[in-house]
Amino acid sequence: MATNRTLPFKDMGGCSISGVMDESGRRFSGEEIIRSIRNMHERSNGLGGGFAAYGIFPERADQYCMQLMFDTPEAKRETEALLDERCNVHYAEDIPTRPHEAITDEPLLHRYFVSVEPDKSRPHLDENDLMVELHMEINTTIQDAFVFSAGKNMGCFKGVGFPEDIGEYFRLEEYEAYTWIAHGRFPTNTTGWWGGAHPFSILDWAIVHNGEISSYGINKRYLRNFGYECTLQTDTEVIAYLFDLLIRKHGLPLEVACQAMAPPFWEDIERMPEREQAQAKAIRAVYGGALLNGPFAVVVGSTGRMIGFSDRTKLRPQVCARGGDRLYIASEEAAIRTICPDPDVVWHPDGGEPVVGELQAGVQVA
Amino acid sequence: MPNWLIEPDFVVERDPDRCIQCEVCVRQCANEAHEFDEELQEVFTDSTRCVGCHRCASLCPTDAISIRPAELEFRPNENWSAQAIRNIYKQSEQGGVLLTGMGNPEPLPIYWDRMLLNASQVTNPSIDPLREPMELLTHIGSKPQRLEFSGGETPQLETTLGPQLELHVPVMFSAMSYGSISYNASEALARAANEVGTYANTGEGGLHEDLRQYAGRMIVQVASGRFGVDVDYLNSGAAVEIKIGQGAKPGIGGHLPGEKVSADISATRMIPEGTDALSPAPHHDIYSIEDLRQLIYAIKEATRYRKPVGVKIAAVHHVAAIASGCVRAGADFVAIDGYRGGTGAAPTMIRNNVGIPIEFALAAVDSRLREEGIRQDAGLIVAGSFRCAADVVKAIALGADACYIGTAALVAMGCHVCQKCYTGRCNWGIATQDPYLTRRLNPNIATRRLVNLLESWAHEIQEIMGGMGINAIESLRGNRDHLRGVNLTDRELNVLGIQMAGE
Amino acid sequence: MKSKSKYLIIGNSVAAVAAVSGIRQIDESGEITLVSREPHHTYSRPLITYLLGGKVTEEQMAYRPADWYEKSNVNALLGTEITRVNPDEHTVETADGETLGYEKLLIATGGTPIVPGNVAGTDAAGVFTFTTWDDAKAIEAYIAEHGVESAVVVGGGLIGLKSVEALIELGIQTTVVELAETMLSASFDRTASELAQRRLAEEGVQVRTSTTTEEILAQEGRVVAAKLTDGETIPCGLVIFAIGVLPATEIVEGTDIEIDRGIVVDDRMRTSVEDVYAAGDVAQARELICGEKRCIAIFPNAFRQGDVAGRNMAGGDASFEGGLVMNSVTVVDVPTISVGVTEPLDDSYETMVQLDEDAYTYRKIVLHDGRIVGAVFVGDIERAGIITGLIREGLDVSNFRDMLISRDFGLIQLPTEYRRRVISGTGTRA
Amino acid sequence: MKRIIIHEEYCIGCGLCEVHCIVKHSRTGKIIRAFKEERDQIVPGVQVERDGYESFALQCRHCDDAVCIEACMTGAMHRDPETGAVLCDTDRCVGCWMCIMVCPAGAIQQGADGTVASKCDACTDEEIPVCVANCPNEALVLEDEE
């Protein structure tokens, strides 16, 4: 009887998100995050799952770990030719996987630890800019090749399947990271393909997202002004690019960046003290193209940091908890308690209010 | 010589069973189509004088009057249409340039009607604007690419934003001068803009002393005739708009005949009473883009950089490049007026044949400015026949910051689009200076109607946005994913930058 | 002393009624005693000729509703005649020998009809004056009793004309005898008078002008004819003396209260003696145009004076802006209105005239020093009040004087400021 | 009291106030019948004055110190205690025209049959007088007075 339990369709809408960060920098195995995301099995439908892990390649922390999927050997050869031309490949290997009965049609999965040399003809571009350019170039010009992460000392692992199966397939229990984020997918706007699973990543930014960005059309055009080409037919990648643009390129403080993406309502701005109000007005006026509209809850990973935030009316769930040195952010409280049965504090942040985990002062991860 | 080749446009029919001989129609027709025969004690109508403005029918207390097109049929001829033939009769009879008023009425495609909007279903909740915030607040002005913050515990904004127009509804009243429209109409536009929190535009006619109290919500225009322009005028408004062109008559100047230049208009325009007010076709100090830049900065200096200074251009073939040039010349906003834009008077041939549709102009300009990375540098206002809230939403989704409405505002005040503005005998008291007619427009009523219109449109815009699951207009602006085309060719879809319905 | 009222009013016609309402505007409760010689509830004196002519019923005679005294909280002593006023004691004496006290006194005793002393035979039955309800009833009864078929009305003024109207209604052949060259000479100019006379003649009314009655001829004590000074003898069953009224000042004669033609009052309607006011036909107050004090026995004047007196008696601050002679009377079916000065007094006056004798329409405006001082309207009286207003206002009409006489003349031709004030409805007095 | 305010600058001289006043005071209250059957029997209480481009519709101002009431010898002209309107009780009016003689606005007329005075009755049975309700340009408005 119990196994035949069915849920109304609408209750099943929405993805699952979980993120754990140890702010002391202590690294821990992927087993816990798999357990957490498994707890929310009903929130996904087997069309996509994925993870991002930070601090997993300490021995190559100064090199970009480019993880790619190829549908054809030709694509792999073409990509490798481009890589040889554009960067130094220090080490390459197949991404370790194990055969899994639930995982089929897997692409070729390979990773390259690379570094890029400054481009003397374009001195204004730093290595990150060049890396983004390379990432975009592969994804837009080489058919059947797809970069799914390209940051330092981090990596994404994703594919078509339930997230717990994907985790097992990628042998995540064998990695140790100080931040893990995970996503189980219930796709509604694109068909399931390996590249379309979450997280979406650029440099060391990785985003898992539950929701739909109604402002995608303008976010995409806004980002294009700054050289970001959205290639994935999915709204989540704009969040990754926006973080990269606002924080890395524009140098906005994290809270300002979050405010740009999920700003307070004008009626709330009207009630702010003068200086704060002027600032909030300026952010909205200037960064209107970065406003993320529609229901969403995201967890964003980056080096030394994990951020959770949701849309300004909080149309998608997000729960946070702390236990010891760890910050937990998940779609459901149960997903936290399954790995941290007795947290110190559990809370529900307001819409648009960022929750930030940061490595404690002095902690070096790479 | 009798004008025997000139045929009536309309037939006015009076139902004798309903007519009560009250003479209301007689008193209301400035064209003297109705006449009361004292001897017979009966009203008669001369249909040849009817312009189809409906004033008599609207006020007839018994609905005894109906007006229909004159059914004098020529032998069917797709090429030699009745209008074409009649135009030739008229010109051969009277000579001269065919004149007309209002916007282009020709059966050219209306692209707004070929674009459809999106709405949320299941995966993304639509939002009820009656329950949830639904933000329309729009800022128009030059914005920096990025903001600078100083570090520290709480970030401090270091960037100073340039002057911005702040619109509570992304719809403004387009330039209509005092002179082309009556004082009461000008007053109503100014008051309504204040009440709603948007802007009216003086047009090129200067700003009447009594309307300066509303100038905080008015854009003051500087046109080729420079009527009414002095430093106080420039500083009195919320923004300054340099008018280069107008959608209804790109490349053409204006002419307000001396008989309309009353004492009041002469004072407002700063020209002698009774003299013709001639607006040259070009600004004679702007023969190229660098001259425009000089004027923009001259005005910015005169207004101490406290007012946005924009440029209004007609949508012509190279509009994208021209708009880009205006932005690079320092314009804080660019207003583009499409080929359906209205006018008080224009040569018919110009109005009906010059310019391009605003939909394409807008799409091209927004895309071009984004390609050049200068879209942030200027606000983008579009004009040229916005008929309803959906048109506005589509324009914003294509990339506009706001729309100008002219004809729609006039219609709200009672205009029946009879296209006879240029005669100065507007029976609705709008496009006239005749004191017998101007009093027909009670500015209190007109203000109320304009406010109602804008508020209705605002509600409709909010409803549409709510349906899309968007609660801030900045997420609609330029969001062409929410538009789909129907009845459009690939090239048209391409220029518009939208997908086909079903894609 | 029987009682002492805060307000004592002698009289029961328009001035008295207006005084009561004037008092009540300011003092809602102060005791008011109203004393009237006639026994009737307050009635409209000008209606007595209509009553005789059968145009109104007795019920319609009431000037105010039946419960008016009660609602106005007035102690009305009807049928009580006052014989003497003692200002020093603040009392009055009644014919019954009673004494009534007052704090403020209003004398609104009206007028006494004139019967010339030099006409013989006026004591015959069938000879009447005509100023009260009782007169009307007496005349009616006499006509009925004696089957009167013809009458002579002595006096071609307003009362005379209205008496004639009533007699026409009753089918009595009437002759008017007027001493002056024309009828209505006091209020009309010659042209208007002639028009009126012509209209009356058409109705079979005989008019004798420049003559008067010398003797009333009687048989068996009843009138049978009137003999005129020009020798003519007019057989008649009835004679009505309608020569005019004199202010009814008898009760104050011998006191310190100043009497000229009537009781002299200032603009606040105060007599020369403290706490005593006078209003209506008995009072002699300032005239608007010439500024002299005159007795103007017309209805609106009496109302206004009564109202001013009442308000001031109650401690208010009201002022009489001056009386203006004006009359509205219908000659058979021709309405007429005359206001102020109807004939130029000297060369400095101008007149504007429009006349259509056949249609019985006549308009005349008399101007002096750029201002309208009088007007006559015959036949077409529409909007005559606008002219009356301009006379009252003393407005300089030089800029639009040519329009005044036009039939289309209206408020719209008047200076904006004046017309706005009139239109506002908040106050029209100068 | 409520008073009809005349904004003459907005009067368009159309005469609809007169038309609707006639209808209101007709036997049937139906516009076409009122005009076809009773047009000559009704003097509208509101009348439009016109001079060049200027015009305004004038009805009795229901003055605070109504001189017509003072001049009325029969007491027919009175102030309605409930509404404050100046009304003519035609049962008591004898057509002496004293009111016409004194009204400074010229707002009282002789009735159609010439026997009694005719004037605006302020449509006291209506929430808004018909001349106000049917004025297309709000040249006539009903305003509360302090």
Residue A1: pLDDT band with limits 50, 70, 90: very low
Calculate what percentage of chain A has a pLDDT beyond 90. Answer: 72
Torsion of CA C412, C417, C421, C422, to 10 degrees: -30
Coarse DSSP helix, strand, coil percentages of chain C, rounded to the nearest 5 percent: 25, 30, 40
CB B178 within 8 A of CB B268: yes
Token pair in block for residue A307? 């951020």
Q: Residue D139's domain spans which residues?
A: 2-144
Tell me the residue type at D84: G
- In this structure, are strands B379-383 and B333-337 parallel, antiparallel, or unpaired? parallel
Strand partners, D87: D78
Alpha helices in A72-226 (DSSP H): 73-86, 127-141, 163-169, 216-225
* Residues C246-290 pLDDT 10s: 999 999 999 999 999 999 999 999 999 999 999 999 999 999 988
CATH topology agreement for domains C3-46+59-111+246-313 and C335-424: no
- Taking contacts as CB-CB distances below 8 angstroms, the residues of chain B near D32 are 17-18, 20, 62
Distance in angstroms (rounded) separating the CA atoms of residues B359 and B108: 13
SS3 label, residue B418: coil
Q: Does A364 have pLDDT greater than 90?
A: no
Chains A and B touch (3+ CB pairs under 8 A): yes
Residue of B124, B133, B149 lying closest to A253 (CB–CB) = B149
Per-domain boundaries in chain B: 10-96, 165-500
> Inter-axis angle of helices B389-398 and B443-468, to 10 degrees?
50
DSSP B32: -
Which pLDDT does position A366 carry in this prediction? 56
- In this structure, are strands B218-222 and B239-243 parallel, antiparallel, or unpaired? parallel
- Taking contacts as CB-CB distances below 8 angstroms, the residues of chain B near A278 are 157
Residue A334 placed within a domain: yes
CB B470 within 8 A of CB B133: no
Q: Which residue, among C60, C158, C381, C406, would best test binding to D if mutated, counting the most D CBs under 10 Å from its CB?
A: C60
Residue A237: pLDDT band with limits 50, 70, 90: confident
Tell me the residue type at B415: C
> Three-state SS string across B113-161, please?
HHEEECCCCCCCCCCCCCCCCCECCEEECCCCCCCCEECCCCCEECCCC
Asked if B471 lies within 8 A of A250 by C-beta distance, the reply is no
Which pLDDT does position B3 carry in this prediction? 66
CB B291 within 8 A of CB B329: no
Q: Please name the residue that has the structure tokens 């429009």.
A: C354
CB B18 within 8 A of CB B64: yes
* Residues A68-119 pLDDT 10s: 999 999 999 999 999 999 999 999 999 999 999 989 889 999 999 999 988 8
Asked if B144 lies within 8 A of A284 by C-beta distance, the reply is no
Q: Does B42 touch chain D (CB under 8 A)?
A: no
Q: Does D29 touch chain B (CB under 8 A)?
A: no
Residue A363 placed within a domain: no
Neighbouring chains of C at 3+ CB pairs under 8 Å are D
Token pair in block for residue B47? 């249909």
Give the fold, CATH level 3, of C335-424: Enolase-like; domain 1 (3.30.390)
Q: Is D51 exposed, middle or buried (0-12, 13-18, 19+ CB in 10 A)?
A: middle
* Residues B411-420 pLDDT 10s: 999 999 999 9
Asked if C46 lies within 8 A of D109 by C-beta distance, the reply is no
* Residues C312-335 pLDDT 10s: 999 999 999 999 999 999 888 899
CB C368 within 8 A of CB C351: no
Number of domains within chain A: 1
Distance in angstroms (rounded) separating the CA atoms of residues B228 and B269: 4
- Cα B170–B174–B175 angle (5° rounding)? 150
Which pLDDT does position B94 carry in this prediction? 86
Among A265, C23, A158, CA closest to B127: A265
Other C-beta atoms lying within 10 Å of the C-beta of residue B175: 26
ipTM: 0.86
Distance in angstroms (rounded) separating the CA atoms of residues D108 and D92: 16
Q: In what order do the strands lie in the sheet with A88-94?
A: A88-94, A108-115, A64-70, A145-152
- The residues of D whose Cβ lies within 8 A of any Cβ of C are 3, 6, 8, 49-51, 54-56, 58, 61-65, 67, 70-71, 73-75, 91-92, 94-106, 108-110, 114
Distance in angstroms (rounded) separating the CA atoms of residues B279 and C16: 75
- Taking contacts as CB-CB distances below 8 angstroms, the residues of chain C near D114 are 333, 335
Shortest distance, CA B446 to any CA of chain D (angstroms): 10
CATH number at residue D96: 3.30.70.20
Which pLDDT does position A190 carry in this prediction? 55
Per-domain boundaries in chain C: 3-46+59-111+246-313, 127-243, 335-424
CATH number of B10-96: 3.30.70.20
Which pLDDT does position B455 carry in this prediction? 98
Q: Does D38 touch chain B (CB under 8 A)?
A: no
- Taking contacts as CB-CB distances below 8 angstroms, the residues of chain D near C14 are 73
As its CATH architecture, domain B165-500 has: Alpha-Beta Barrel (3.20)
Quick check: is A15 catalytic? Answer: yes
Neighbouring chains of D at 3+ CB pairs under 8 Å are B, C
**Which stretches of chain D are assigned E, i.e. beta strand?**
2-6, 46-51, 54-59, 77-79, 86-88, 109-110, 117-118, 140-144
Instruction: Give CA separation, A134 vs A126, A142, A238, C236, in Å.
Output: 12, 11, 18, 134
- Phi then psi for residue D75, to 5 deg, are 85, 5
* Residues D36-90 pLDDT 10s: 999 999 999 999 999 999 999 999 999 988 999 999 999 999 999 898 999 999 9
Instruction: Give CA separation, B221 vs A281, B66, B290, in Å.
Output: 27, 41, 20
Shortest distance, CA A149 to any CA of chain B (angstroms): 27
Which pLDDT does position A189 carry in this prediction? 55
DSSP B503: -
CA B84 to chain centre: 27
Taken in order B339, B340, B342, B347, is the CA torsion positive or negative?
positive
Tell me if the bond preceding A199 is cis, omega within 30° of 0.
yes
CATH number at residue A198: 3.60.20.10
Give the fold, CATH level 3, of C127-243: FAD/NAD(P)-binding domain (3.50.50)
Which pLDDT does position A261 carry in this prediction? 94
Asked if A217 lies within 8 A of B480 by C-beta distance, the reply is yes
Asked if C429 lies within 8 A of D65 by C-beta distance, the reply is yes
Distance in angstroms (rounded) separating the CA atoms of residues C332 and C183: 14
> Three-state SS string across B273-317, please?
CCCCEEECCCCCCCCCHHHHHHHHHHHHHHCCCCCCEEEEEECCC
- CB-based contacts of B315, cutoff 8 Å, min separation 6: B247, B250, B336, B337, B338, B339, B355, B356, B357, B358, B360, B361, B384
Distance in angstroms (rounded) separating the CA atoms of residues D23 and D130: 9
> Inter-axis angle of helices B183-196 and B443-468, to 10 degrees?
40
CB B246 within 8 A of CB B385: no
DSSP A96: P
Low-confidence ranges of chain B (pLDDT < 70): 1-3
* Residues A5-45 pLDDT 10s: 332 232 234 689 999 999 999 999 999 999 999 999 988 88
- In this structure, are strands A108-115 and A145-152 parallel, antiparallel, or unpaired? unpaired
Torsion of CA C259, C265, C266, C272, to 10 degrees: 60
Lowest mean pLDDT among A226-240, B413-427, C361-375, C380-394: A226-240
- Taking contacts as CB-CB distances below 8 angstroms, the residues of chain A near B144 are 286
pLDDT, chain C, mean: 92
Listing DSSP states for C289-342 in one string gives TT--EE----HHHHHHHHHHHHHHHTT-------B--EEEEEETTEEEEEEE--
Q: In what order do the strands lie in the sheet with C213-219?
A: C213-219, C222-228, C233-235
Tell me the residue type at B161: L
Question: Scanning every residue of chain D, which has its alpha carbon at the shortest distance from the alpha carbon of B64?
Answer: D32
CB C47 within 8 A of CB C61: yes
CATH class entry, domain C3-46+59-111+246-313: alpha beta
Instruction: Give CA separation, A286 vs B140, B152, B161, B331, in Å.
Output: 11, 22, 9, 17
Alpha helices in D25-122 (DSSP H): 31-38, 67-71, 98-102
Asked if A291 lies within 8 A of B472 by C-beta distance, the reply is yes
Among D38, D5, D62, D37, CA closest to D111: D38
Instruction: Give CA separation, C369 vs A310, B373, C40, C416, D89, in Å.
Output: 88, 81, 47, 21, 40
Number of domains within chain D: 1
Residue A3 placed within a domain: no
- Cα B352–B354–B355 angle (5° rounding)? 115
Q: Does C130 have pLDDT greater than 90?
A: yes
SS3 label, residue C249: coil
Residue C1: pLDDT band with limits 50, 70, 90: low
Residue A3: pLDDT band with limits 50, 70, 90: very low
Q: Please name the residue that has the structure tokens 């916005």.
A: B386
Q: Please name the residue that has the structure tokens 């990509």.
A: A79
CB A58 within 8 A of CB A182: no
| A234, HSE (Cβ side, Cα atoms, 13 Å) | 28
Among B472, C126, D118, CA closest to A313: B472
Residue of B21, B27, B62 lying closest to D31 (CB–CB) = B62
Q: Please name the residue that has the structure tokens 């390209």.
A: A150
